[in-house]
Amino acid sequence: MAKKGRVKLVKPDWCKTCGICIEVCPVEVLELGQDRIKIVYPENCVGCENCELSCPDFVLKVVDENEE
């Protein structure tokens, strides 16, 4: 079973809304807002880290689902 994780916005102001993280996410978690990415379905996150690894601007961080 896939490891469960939770995606967090650690540097929301650095997001340039390029949409790369949405393309690499295998499930529906993220959506583009007006000026930054939004976490719309956090419960869908499987913790794959694709978004964190692909974001050129270090906006996202994936943590264990039980972590604060």
Smallest separation (angstroms) from ligand SF4 to the CB of 20 = 4
Binding site for ligand SF4 (CB under 6 A): 5, 7, 15-21, 24-27, 29-30, 37, 45-51, 55, 57, 59-60, 62
Smallest separation (angstroms) from ligand SF4 to the CB of 24 = 6
- Gap between the Cα atoms of 61 and 57, Å rounded: 11
> Residue 7 or residue 67: which is nearer to ligand SF4 going by CB?
7
Smallest separation (angstroms) from ligand SF4 to the CB of 65 = 10
Bridge-partner residues for 30, per DSSP? 39
Bridge-partner residues for 38, per DSSP? 31
Exposed e or buried b for every residue in 4-34, given b needs 16+ CB within 10 A?
Answer: ebbbbbeeeeebeeeebbbebbeeebbeeee
> Residue 21 or residue 68: which is nearer to ligand SF4 going by CB?
21
